[in-house]
């Protein structure tokens, strides 16, 4: 999986590409920790638009991210899930846990 991390305004943006699975845990948790530690960041936006597959361990990582951010007084939103990723989020009822935006433009 590839990951791009940047900040825009008061949002830490994490753009994921490829397969999001257990192998991405170190890079993902490190990137989340950086965003949470950044005092200029109030929200974390995780762009899933280029993720073609997600497994249950990645879903767990998203929950951990949400909990860590919440303890720091920050929010987490999931952006642009499609296909199998959207189906996995729907099956896990993530809409009850996250703000999910399906047509968010980051350009």
Query: pTM for the complete prediction?
Result: 0.93
Q: What one-character-per-residue DSSP string does the chain give?
A: -EEEEEEETTEEEEEEEEEESGGGHHHHHHHHHHHHH-TT--EEEEEEEEEEEE-HHHHHHHHHHHHHHHHTT-EEEEE---HHHHHHHHHTTGGGTSEEESS----
pLDDT in tens, 19-62: 999 999 999 999 999 999 999 999 999 999 999 999 999 999 99
pLDDT in tens, 14-24: 999 999 999 99
CATH superfamily placement of domain 2-101: STAS domain (3.30.750.24)
Q: Where are the domains of the chain?
A: 2-101
């Amino acid at each position: 999986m590839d990951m791009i991390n940047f900040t825009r305004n008061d949002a830490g943006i994490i753009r994921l590409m490829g397969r999001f699975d257990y192998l991405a845990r170190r890079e993902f948790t490190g990137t989340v920790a950086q965003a949470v530690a950044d005092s200029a960041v109030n929200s974390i936006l995780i762009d899933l638009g280029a993720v073609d597959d997600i497994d249950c361990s990645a879903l767990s990582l998203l929950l951990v991210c949400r909990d860590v951010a919440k303890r720091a007084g920050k929010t987490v939103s999931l952006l642009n899930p499609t296909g199998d990723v959207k189906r996995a989020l729907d099956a896990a009822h993530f809409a009850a846990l996250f703000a999910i935006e399906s047509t968010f433009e980051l350009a």
